[in-house]
Each structure stands twice: as structure tokens, then as C-alpha cells.
Structure 1
Amino acid sequence: MIRPTPRAIVLFAAGIPLAFAILLADPDAWPFVPAYLFLACFALLLDTALSLTPGRLNVQVNPPPVLYIGRPETFLVYLRAHTGRRPEIELLCDVDDTLERPRRVIAMLNEDGEAIVPIGLSARHRGKARIERLWLRWRGPLGLVHRLRIVPVDSEIAVTPDVKAVRQTALAFADPSALYGVKPQFQQGEGSEFESLRDYVPGLDPRSIDWKHSARHMNLLCKEFRSERNHQIVLAFDTGHLMREPLAGIAKLDHAVNAGLQLGYVSLRAGDRIGVFGFDSKVRVVSQPIGGIASFWRVQRAATELDYSPDETNFTLGLSSLAARLDRRSLIILQTEFVDTITAELMLENVERLAGRHVVLFVCLRDPLLVETVDRAPDSLGTLARSVIADEFLRERRVVLERLRRRGVHCLDVRADQIGPALINRYLEIKRRELI
């Protein structure tokens, strides 16, 4: 496909005032007008003949088989020109709504007429994404014509939760001592497991003295404990319409799923059992708690089944169904979202009821746009009004979180880029304090 460039349009358009100027200056000089048009057409045809033909350009595409949500990937295009001409080639990729529209890329062929062009891909949400076609455009040597080539791709890519972040977490905790230190960690408190007896020495906690065995052995003995394992942890995800809102380019639900998978790997490696529970207007996903690092793929599959829902979340149905399925005290990590104190009343009531028997970690994502709106200089009346409204939202958010803390619920309100490490650190703190 051949199209004229803006330079060619200017070249032909310049002939109109030039023709009027020639005819006004000397009517007998009219043969110069068709001569100019003839030279312009000849230059256009010459540029077409000298330009790189689409048949001499070999194009190979190598799309990634999997795309991780929240992590940009590259789509490689290999170009090879079977001629001595090496034009500057523009590339543009057509994708469906699952992916962000890639930016236009300009490629320069090397001395051998080859180029490897990376095109950035970024997913908006999980599911199946499709790369439809690739557009290539280059100019002729004179810059008067554009050569256009369309390469159909029709490649389908699976968009999954960010497993790469889980792999990085796996490397961070590859050392068996990463969770508990180099030496065995002996912790005291309710629910900890008895390890052994040892002679009491100054500096040990007197409350650990076992008076019965001390009287029998005529020597002060104290108990040593070890950290409990085999705790039951449930990753509860709110999949309602508020979790569909984008934050840092992807939905809040995807941020929650990525962080949940990171925590799932760490907890499975620590010897605990992990289950997945998803709900909105009704219960969507139920995965019973399982243990063993080899079972992580089951947790990943259950998290992948969490779909985006336009429904409003029914906390009464969802949390009561979750409580009915638990037969022992568990750590429930509830990742959800709310707007204000009025819409959060039913959520507060059901979370407080759930916290009466279980340990509940309430996790929500902080929107940095609200903080920026509050801190922005009030240079106009509209900016001031938006700042006041944003501050009211933040105040009501703090009220809801403070009410939950007073009811014994552990709360975590962090930015999207901090949710993974913050969630793991809070989980380790809860285990260290033997709260489960």
C-alpha cells in the first residue's frame, strides 16, 4: 500500500500559487506550469520506485505466551530487508481491550539490514488478550511516499496473576532460616508448642519456670517452646464492583491477588495451610485450606478463578458463609474496599462478628490521588472544593479503620506498590506474637 506523505502534498499544493504567479507575471510562460506538475509527478514515481518494497522486508513476530498482570512485557519483532536500502521503519500494534494500546516504535535497520524491535505490552486485567495485527510504515528516499504493510498476528496471550513476584519472594525465602533466623526460635505464650526443659539461668523469663519438675529434680527448670506451624490461613477476596476500580494502571482486585499469592507461598513454606475464598453478591470461589509447598499451584489456580464482578458486595452473606466453613481458629486476610462510613456499616458489623472467633487482617489499598488532591495548593475555587471532598473521604476512611482496630481487627492500609511486603510482614508479626 502506497500513500503520499505531507511533503508530497505540500509539493503539489505549492504548484497552485506558483501557477498563478507565473500567469500573472507573464501569460506566455504558461508551459512552465505543466512542466512543474510533470516534475512533481516524476519525483513521486521515482521515490516509489526507489523505496523498499514490502516483498523485500521479512517480518517475524514473537509474542510472549503469558503476560503477568501489573508487570510490563516486551513483544519482539524481527525485521530483515533483502536489499541495500535501510529506511526508518515505524511500527504500531493493534490489540484488544485487555491490553493497553502500545506506543509507536521507530526501528533503524543495521548494516546487515536487520533489526530486533521490542514493543511494550501491559495488561489492564486478567483473562485472554489478543494481538490482532502489526502495522509497518516507512518512507521513500525522497520522503514523498509512505509504504504501508499490515502483518496479521492473531495471537492469543493468557494474562495471569503476577507469578514473577512470587518467584522473587521464593528467592528471598529460599534459605530455610529466612523465616525464623539461623538459630531455632523459641517463643512463649498461649498456644505455643512445648519443646524441652532446660536449667534456669539468670536472664530467662521467670514465668517459664516449671515448678512441678523443678521440685521433682531439686533444681530450677524452665520450659522452652517452639513456634507453632500448621496454622489455617484464608485469603478472602472481595470481588465486587469497588475492586474493579483501576489503581496504578490495574484493578484493585489484581493488586490483592498478586499480594495474596506472595503471602501464600511464604505461609506454605512456613508450614501453614492456605485457602482461598472469593465473594461479592454471592460466593464465587471456595478453596479448602491445603498445606505443603507443592500445593501452591492449587492456590494459584483458585486465585486465577477470581473474576471481576459488577455487583455490590454482600458482606453478610459472604462472611457468614466463610465463618460456617471454618472448623478451627484461623487467620482470615480480608482484602476489600469501601467508600465511606455509611456504606461500610454492614461490612463493619460482619467483620467484627468474624473477629470474635478468628484473627482478621483487614487489608485495603490507599489511593495516592486522594492524598495528592488534599495536599495540592488551592489555586482556584474548584481545586479547594476537590481538596475538601478528598479530605472528607480520607477522614471517614480513618474512622472506619479505627473502629475495626478497637474491635480487635488488624488493619493494613497501604499503597499498591507496598501491599505485598507489608502483608507478609504483618503475617510474620501475627505469627511471632502467637495470635492465631
Structure 2
Amino acid sequence: MKNIISLFYTNLFLTRRLFTAVACCVVLFLLSFFFPWLGIVPDMAFFVLVLLVLADMVMLYRANKPIFARRHAPERLSNSDDNELGIYIENKYLFAVSIGIIDEIPFQFQKRDVWFKTFLNPGEHKLINYILRPTKRGEYSFGLIRVYARSPIGLISRRFNFDQAEILPVYPSFLQMRRYELMAISNRLNEIGIKKIRRLGHSMEFEQVKAYVAGDDYRTINWKATARQGNLMTNFYTDEKSQQVYCVIDKSRAMKMPFDGLSLLDYAINASLVLSNIALMKEDKAGLITVAEKIGAVIPADRRHAQMNKILEVLYKEKTRYLETNMEALYTTIRGVIKQRSLVVFFTNYESMNALQRQLPFLKRIARFHLLLVVFFENTELKQLSEQHAGNVEEIYIKTIAEKFAYDKKVIVKELAKHGIQSILSTPQNLTINTINRYLELKAKQKI
């Protein structure tokens, strides 16, 4: 009995309409002292208000489970993307109700205004959709769904609690990966900035001899086959397949820097995921190595269907470390794991020439055996500072320092090129597009 009474009081809430009505009654009682002719009007008003409150309670509490709510959520969320969730709500009352809904979303979002209002007729149901954009990988805990129902009288509201506590994992941006995949299948990659690159020369992988059709390159005509058949015949070549593409991700403190809510490591992980998927679609082999002060995950290059799931599961758990990158361990691992010449895409960050000089000897050794592509980040905030107008001595000083750091990034690109090392200097937002463009360019030039 005590539990029933406790549940009754804890789920009963007074509305603003009730407080307004009580205030009106109080005013009437005060006025009755100065205007006796009001008579029993205040008493009647208060009596009517009490009857309405009791009627409201009966309407809301006579049914046991008149409201039903359920959260619709995917099995996992995609980091840095807009993820759509929904709340299904159903009214089983015999009258229309005004509904207020609170969804207890994970604390990582730091939102206290997830409040939805709607109106439901008898027997009506709705699906209320909303968007969440996580900026960190990991586990996100959702809590209860709390529904506040008001009858047409609207003096009180009854709360319904639906236990939908669940933990959803936030994976690297698989939605972005699928978007690139769909556009690649439909040959629409150019719509998102992927360039169409003209293939230079022919691949060394011969496929077949076929009849000449208008538009074929005259240089591919097979004169011996033409003589035998009596018709023009051409050699048909296909793209080289089964080339190895390794994404090497630096997890050291250099990748902790945040941009637009995401760390540089998250940008590198999202780009690696998309690049690996594109490489598999091109029938190349994709592999992964993570490194900080020690070697993290190592996934040998493969092109089987399960490879992307392996890469996704590994990248889901990776976090930044707070020590320097152990380049000696990285070089030893690459020499031990990668047995043939491959494209090694090294995602890292350099803020000064000194940072590059410490790693350059190992980068040159890796570049002797593989095609090394170093990907690092342009500091967009410093770029904005360098482009701002300086109005005083302090602003001139800040602008000069910002321009120096921006210039150092360009010097790093030239220094790497001097030693035959490919590089990409990209803003975090354009990292994925720039990396895919360079991969397709290197493949078109048959450098891998």
C-alpha cells in the first residue's frame, strides 16, 4: 500500500495552469475583504477548482498502463556523423492528451534540453525522430524515457517511466564509409570532391585479346592476332589488383589536438576506414598498423569480406597515448609484417621541423622499401589568425607567430619531397577526400 501511495505522489506533477487557477482564487479571497458583494464567489471558485483537480486525477490514474513509449535506436552509432534515433509513443486513453517526453541521453552529449512535446488523440501513435552527433568513440549509456501526460483539463500531469536503459557503442564513421562506397558504386564520387584521374600508360596486367571497337587506343592493336583473324584485334588490359595498402595511424600525443569536437586521431581513423574500404573495392588488399610509444594493433593486408569488420573492431578501441612515437618499433614492424612493396599511408602530425627531424631517418628507411605517403594536418585555427587584420602590436606579434607555424608546415612538405617521400598537408575536414584522391592518383600512375 505504501509503495502504491509513494508511486502516486512521485509521479504526480502540478502544472502551470493549476498554479494560475490557485492564484486567481487567492486574488478573489483578497478582494472579498474589500468588496463584500462578492459573497460566496471565491468559495465557489475554490470548490470548482478542487472538483476539477479530483476529476483530472481520476481521468489520468484510472487506467493502469494508458501510455506506451519505446526508443528506436540503431545497434551502434557512427562517430562524427548525424545518427537518427526515434521515440515511439502511443496513447491508450479514451481522450486526447498533451505529451511531454524526456529521453535520458548519455552524459557525453552534455545536453539538458532533450524535451519533446506532442499531442495524441485517443488510440493515436507517433514516432518522434531526433539527431545525435557523437564526437568520441566508446560506450554510450542511455537511461529512462520519461513521459508526462496531461488530460484536456490540464491541471496536473502524470509521469510514466519506461526502463529503456541500454549501452550503444560508438564506432568510427561507418556512415561516411558507406556514403563513399555507394557513390563509388554509382560513379558519383566527383560530387563530393573526388577527382577523375586520367590513367597514364597501361597496367602490366593483361586480361584478353578482343575485337577492335571505335574509341580503342591504336597502340593496343595486336597485329599478329589481327593477321590471323582478318579483323582488327586489340589487347585489353585491366587494373592491377592485389596491391597492398597499409594505413599506419600514429596514436601519440601529437594526435590529441582537437578540431571541431574531434581529435586528430578520430579524423585519421575515419579517413583510414574509408580508404581501406575504397582499396578493397579496387580489389587491393587493406591492412592496418597503430603505433605510439609501442606497437598497438597489427592487421595483415587482406581483401576478404571480413577484413573491414576486423579493421572496424580494432579502430573502435584505439585511444591517444601521451608519449612520443616509437619510430624504431614501427620500422621493425613494417619490415617484419609487409613482405612486398606496398603503399604505406602514415597518419601523423608535425607542428615543427624539429618534430620531423626526429622521425626523418626512419621515414627514409621505410621509403626505401615501400611507397610512403605521410599525411599530416594543417592547423586551421592558426591559419585564421594569420589571415586576420592586425590592429596593434600584440595582434601583429600573434599574426607573425601564426604565419611562421603555417610556413613551417610548407617547409615540412618540401623536406619530405626532397627525400622522395610523398606527403599530404590537409585540413582535418578534408582529410578523407584528399587521402582518397592521392590513393587514386598513385594507382593511376602505377606507382603501386
Q: Secondary structure at the match of 1:334?
A: strand
1:75 and 2:78 equivalent? Answer: no
Asked whether the equivalents of residues 276 and 287 of structure 1 are also in contact (C-alpha less than 8 Å), the reply is: yes
In structure 2, the CA distance between the partners of 1:20 and 1:224, relative to structure 1 (3 Å rule), is closer
1:261 and 2:273 equivalent? Answer: yes
Which AA in structure 2 matches 1:290? D
> Paired residue for 2:332?
321
- In 2: Cα distance, 1:380 partner to 1:30 partner: 76
In structure 2, the CA distance between the partners of 1:106 and 1:196, relative to structure 1 (3 Å rule), is closer
> Paired residue for 1:213?
none
Describe how 1:33-48 pairs up with structure 2 within 5 A: 41-48=50-57
Find the partner of 2:130 among 104, 114, 119: 119
Which AA in structure 2 matches 1:62? H
Asked whether the equivalents of residues 187 and 224 of structure 1 are also in contact (C-alpha less than 8 Å), the reply is: no
The two structures have a TM-score, normalised by structure 2, of 0.74
- In 2: Cα distance, 1:54 partner to 1:378 partner: 68
Find the partner of 1:355 among 367, 371, 375: 367
> Paired residue for 1:187?
201
Asked whether the equivalents of residues 335 and 362 of structure 1 are also in contact (C-alpha less than 8 Å), the reply is: yes
Describe how 1:35-434 pairs up with structure 2 within 5 A: 41-51=50-60, 55-97=65-107, 101=111, 103-109=114-120, 112-174=123-185, 187=201, 228-292=240-304, 295-305=307-317, 307-325=318-336, 326-366=338-378, 368-375=380-387, 390-434=402-446
- In 2: Cα distance, 1:385 partner to 1:37 partner: 72
In structure 2, the CA distance between the partners of 1:15 and 1:88, relative to structure 1 (3 Å rule), is closer
Asked whether the equivalents of residues 185 and 226 of structure 1 are also in contact (C-alpha less than 8 Å), the reply is: no
In structure 2, the CA distance between the partners of 1:304 and 1:60, relative to structure 1 (3 Å rule), is closer
Return the offset for 1:433.
Answer: 2.1
Q: Secondary structure at the match of 1:298?
A: helix
Identity of aligned residues (%): 18
Asked whether the equivalents of residues 238 and 334 of structure 1 are also in contact (C-alpha less than 8 Å), the reply is: yes
1:3 and 2:17 equivalent? Answer: no
Asked whether the equivalents of residues 100 and 122 of structure 1 are also in contact (C-alpha less than 8 Å), the reply is: no
Return the offset for 1:235.
Answer: 0.6
Which AA in structure 2 matches 1:124? T
In structure 2, the CA distance between the partners of 1:147 and 1:375, relative to structure 1 (3 Å rule), is farther
- In 2: Cα distance, 1:170 partner to 1:312 partner: 35
Aligned length: 405
Return the offset for 1:94.
Answer: 1.4
Asked whether the equivalents of residues 350 and 377 of structure 2 are also in contact (C-alpha less than 8 Å), the reply is: no
Describe how 1:13-28 pairs up with structure 2 within 5 A: 13=23, 23=33, 25=34
- In 1: Cα distance, 2:398 partner to 2:19 partner: 48
Return the offset for 1:248.
Answer: 3.6
Question: Mind listing any 5+ residue stretches in structure 2 that lack a counterpart?
Answer: 1-10, 190-197, 210-216, 221-234
Q: Secondary structure at the match of 1:262?
A: helix
Q: Which moved more, 1:69-78 or 1:30-39?
A: 30-39
- In 1: Cα distance, 2:266 partner to 2:147 partner: 34
The two structures have a TM-score, normalised by structure 1, of 0.75
Report the aligned-residue RMSD. Answer: 4.1
- In 2: Cα distance, 1:390 partner to 1:39 partner: 72
- In 1: Cα distance, 2:266 partner to 2:256 partner: 9
Asked whether the equivalents of residues 95 and 121 of structure 2 are also in contact (C-alpha less than 8 Å), the reply is: no
Asked whether the equivalents of residues 171 and 312 of structure 2 are also in contact (C-alpha less than 8 Å), the reply is: no
